[in-house]
Structure 1
Amino acid sequence: MQIRFSKYQGAGNDFILIDDRANQVRPDVEVFNKLCDRRFGIGADGIMLVRNHKDFDFEMLYFNADGREGSMCGNGGRCIATFARDLGITGSESHFIAVDGPHRARITGEEVSLEMKDVNGIEINSGDYILDTGSPHLVRMTSTLQELDIVSEGRSVRYNDRFRQEGINVNFVEPFADHYAVRTYERGVENETYACGTGVTAVALAMAVKDKLYGDLKLRLQTKGGLLTVRFHRSGEQSFSGIYLSGPATFVFKGEIFI
């Protein structure tokens, strides 16, 4: 079967996007894994399908680079909003459904702002912050971010006794005067990615807890692929709402491939 695809990236987090409103693409772990391979396929951190939905502008189906259906992807959500606009499905604003529920997105120039789900609980365990921002994340502080072996350190957490079965994304963060530097090991990709949207969201909320910040907040997160911002309101010790992830989401190229 020959399919048309487009490649988009958000802060270096790259995705294969397919317009599947005709419901012709049958998800296949082996095929999707091969498409994401950077040597034998197109190359991407994940694959997304756009499908029709009677109650929303569209439905987002997300698959990790290993070919398996994944949890919510923040940068993917920003990229698929741009893709939907480019297809003519939506305009500069969209309301779509993903695996973790409804999302709203707004596009202003090259910046896409995506509403994330509310968070009402952060576990603190031996200095680590564990929370779910649409995907499960662990946030760990470090003062030597650039020297860290992210893959080795990330895997030691992702595959430990607690997280081995379900997996977890692992974010390492180093604070600076006006931003937080972040590097992320992603489950499903099983490697470091240039950015992770749900990951920087998790970092922002964790830093609000660490630094005892309340009210309307906006934090800057520097990833390997670029700068992202997270806006949110913290009204209580474990209560976060009005969470918006913002940053670039741009078209890279398009083509056709046989699957």
Structure 2
Amino acid sequence: MKKLRFTKMHGISNDYVYISTFDQPEQDWEALSIRLSDRRTGVGGDGIILVCPSDKADAKMRIFNADGSEGMMCGNGIRCVGKFVYDKGLVSADKTTVTIDTLSGVKTLELTVKDGKVQSARVDMGAAILNPADIPAVFDGDRMIDAPLEVDGKVWNVTAVSMGNPHCVTFVDDTDGLELEKIGPHFEHHPAFPERVNTEFVKVIDDRTLRMRVWERGSGETWACGTGACATVVAACENGYCKKGEDVTVHLRGGDLVIRYTDETVIMTGPAATVFEGEVEL
């Protein structure tokens, strides 16, 4: 029986099964993600992330959601990929700046190392995209900011942002009482977002602090979403709740991320952790 080695990792509880293709063969990754993501019969996770060779960066990241669909970018996932390549010696021990190739372009990570292991990473996530056609979102204006959107019979005010993947951010008075399992799919499959959408429900604590829950396309509610936290801070600044160029702490169910939005880019800082190593029979 053939076996495939994996590493279970998480970034503030946004957990994936990480698999290296540097020394392991190609598989039916869509089917394997569905199988391994199951929290009762598989390893359990929000999907699988492949760590692959790249001709333009230190490594390439591919993401498959729990439903088998391939994602473009994952903020928590890329921090764990940075930890993976460093901790496993795929880059030299003195290399604490690494580059990761993604479907959203090459991203640069600054790694914080303690006792030979990565503890956290600071990621340049690139510029936020607000043009609806590039998100993509169906909207007549040049920016979809604080725009009314009817979802399952209720009107929500939303802001659309792409961080390499599409996000719909809405500000609410209470995040804890939301029935995300009921309303999340209506946002995800709304016709305004032809490629489906990740949706962030956000409470403003103050101009430096936000609380967020997220419904991710292909995975349902997750305990954290790095690109979602970035999109949330972008939306908060564009709506006047927070200020550009300042660190904003985003409280998610799994932990905290610190995000800074500028005219040029979005910077995300947060932890990365290894849970365990294992093998799965194919």
TM-score by length of 1: 0.92
8 Å contact kept, 1:22–1:51: no
Identity of matched residues, %: 30
Query: Which residue of 1 is the match for residue 107 of structure 2?
Result: 103
Query: Which residue of 1 is the match for residue 139 of structure 2?
Result: none
Aligned partner of 2:214 among 160, 184, 196 = 184
Deviations 1:191-236 (A, max 9, x none): 21000011000000000011175552211100000010112313xx
Letter matched to residue 117 of structure 1: G
CA distance in 2, matches of 1:105, 1:27: 29
Unaligned ranges ≥5, structure 1: 235-240
Between 1:136-145 and 1:49-58, the stretch displaced more is 49-58
Letter matched to residue 105 of structure 2: G
Letter matched to residue 122 of structure 2: S
CA distance in 2, matches of 1:145, 1:44: 23
Q: CA deviation at 1:52?
A: 1.1
CA distance in 2, matches of 1:169, 1:97: 22
Say yes or no: does 1:249 pair with 2:250.
no
Aligned partner of 2:222 among 193, 206, 222 = 193
Query: Which residue of 2 is the match for residue 153 of structure 1?
Result: 183
Query: Which residue of 1 is the match for residue 84 of structure 2?
Result: 83
Say yes or no: does 1:131 pair with 2:161.
yes
Unaligned ranges ≥5, structure 2: 114-118, 131-142, 149-156
Query: Which residue of 2 is the match for residue 238 of structure 1?
Result: none
Deviations 1:132-166 (A, max 9, x none): 11110000010021111112121121123333x52
Letter matched to residue 52 of structure 2: R
- Classify 1:31/1:209 alpha carbon distance in 2 versus 1 (closer, same or farther; 3 Å): same
Q: How does 1:1-259 map to 2 (within 5 A)?
A: 1-22=2-23, 24-90=25-91, 91-109=95-113, 110-121=119-130, 122-124=143-145, 125-126=147-148, 127-163=157-193, 165-177=194-206, 178-189=208-219, 191-211=220-240, 215-234=244-263, 241-259=264-282
Letter matched to residue 75 of structure 1: N
Letter matched to residue 93 of structure 1: T
Between 1:11-20 and 1:117-126, the stretch displaced more is 117-126
Pairs aligned (count): 251
- Classify 1:85/1:68 alpha carbon distance in 2 versus 1 (closer, same or farther; 3 Å): same
8 Å contact kept, 2:37–2:45: yes
- Following TM superposition, the consecutive aligned residue runs of length 4 or more in structure 1 with deviations greater than 6 angstroms are none
Letter matched to residue 229 of structure 2: V
Letter matched to residue 97 of structure 1: D
Q: CA deviation at 1:167?
A: 0.9
TM-score by length of 2: 0.85
8 Å contact kept, 1:23–1:51: no
8 Å contact kept, 2:170–2:202: yes
